[in-house]
Structure 1
């Protein structure tokens, strides 16, 4: 089982990263929530991974943190009708704290906003995962290009994203919509964007 991969980031899109290791390029499927934390191409990156084996393929999925990877595994192993592709879509729409909060609160409306997720699937997420969400810790994400042990490695952008989401919700945005808009703004503007810049981009 490949539980993590660390190497040179040679290519990145919102849903895919190519990591070169020992002369081999590994294609890793990632959610938007991980893509926004990737360093610039050419930098070293580490992703926590899960390999899905099928008769005709072996697909590698990568995440910024261990809790995100473990939550992905929970969805595909315990929720009827949720496979890797749908789970990745869900985790691209909502951050892990938002997902866990919606499941604990039984917020079907927020979960149903994920593309391809109807009310029935949202209900299954709540019913089948509510007792399990405590098993994954919603630790603050680390910058994938840094040493997680370093006290300076936690990105300031983490608090900026949170503050920007709070600002949008104060303006009347629903939590799920605010979360997605700000994370996409962060992906576009980069890690040096201020809270104000993230808000303006999300509103635009």
Structure 2
């Protein structure tokens, strides 16, 4: 099994990355949340991967952290009706901390706002994954791709992100929009920013 790929990033779109390794170019399907963290083309990049084999195809999926890859696998293996394409759509709309939080809290409304995800699918995500949230990749954070190593505490970083999102919620932002604004703030000012700094940056963007 190919669990990661590291090479030269030769091209990238919001849903695909081409990584050249040993003279071969690998097309990797990625969520928008991973595309946001990619370096400039021509740079070395590492993605944590999962290969999906079908009778007529072999598709490579890549993520910024092992935790994101493992959650992607969890969705396609344990949630009825959720295949790789739908799982990628969900992870493109919501960051991993928010996705885990919405499932743990049974927030069907936020989940159902993901493109192509109806209320029934959102309910299945909650029912079938609620007991598993926090088990997969709990030591890793989606923020690690922005500079937090595995030696750092992932929980405080996730908490900062969640607190900032809740603050924007209180100001009238929809949860998915608040999540996107805070992700952009983290990319702009770095993962060591305080909750207050993230909020100010998100409001000013």
For the superposition of Structure 1 and Structure 2, which TM-score range results when normalised by the shorter chain? 0.7 to 0.9
Counterpart in 1 of 2:38? 38
Aligned to 1:82, the other structure's residue is in SS state coil
> Residues 28-83 of structure 1, C-alpha deviation per residue, up to 9 Å, x if partnerless?
11111111111111111110000011111111000111111010001001101100
> What is the alpha-carbon distance in structure 2 between the residues aligned to residue 123 and residue 115 of structure 1?
15
TM-score relative to the length of structure 1? 0.82
> What is the alpha-carbon distance in structure 1 between the residues aligned to residue 90 and residue 25 of structure 2?
26
> What is the alpha-carbon distance in structure 2 between the residues aligned to residue 36 and residue 73 of structure 1?
21
Contact 1:167 1:199 (C-alpha < 8 Å) held by counterparts: no
Counterpart in 2 of 1:175? 175
Aligned to 2:81, the other structure's residue is in SS state coil
> What is the alpha-carbon distance in structure 1 between the residues aligned to residue 112 and residue 162 of structure 2?
22
- 1:177 Cα deviation after fit: 2.5
> What is the alpha-carbon distance in structure 2 between the residues aligned to residue 182 and residue 75 of structure 1?
24
Counterpart in 1 of 2:193? none
Residues 148 and 25 of structure 1: is their aligned pair in 2 closer, same or farther, counting only changes over 3 Å? farther
CA RMSD of aligned residues (A): 2.8
Contact 1:164 1:199 (C-alpha < 8 Å) held by counterparts: no
Aligned pair count? 193
> What is the alpha-carbon distance in structure 1 between the residues aligned to residue 35 and residue 90 of structure 2?
14
Alignment of 1:1-204 (within 5 A): 1-138=1-138, 139-140=140-141, 141-143=143-145, 148=149, 165-183=165-183, 185=184, 191-192=188-189, 195=198, 196-201=200-205
Structure 2 runs not aligned, ≥5 long? 191-196
Structure 1 runs not aligned, ≥5 long? none
- 1:12 Cα deviation after fit: 1.3
- 1:199 Cα deviation after fit: 2.8
* Larger RCO (CA under 8 A, 6+ residues apart): 1
> Residues 145-182 of structure 1, C-alpha deviation per residue, up to 9 Å, x if partnerless?
x895798xx9xx99996676455223111322211344
Aligned to 1:143, the other structure's residue is in SS state helix
**Runs of 4 or more consecutive aligned structure 1 residues displaced over 3 Å after TM superposition:** 146-151, 157-167, 190-198
TM-score relative to the length of structure 2? 0.81
Contact 2:81 2:121 (C-alpha < 8 Å) held by counterparts: yes
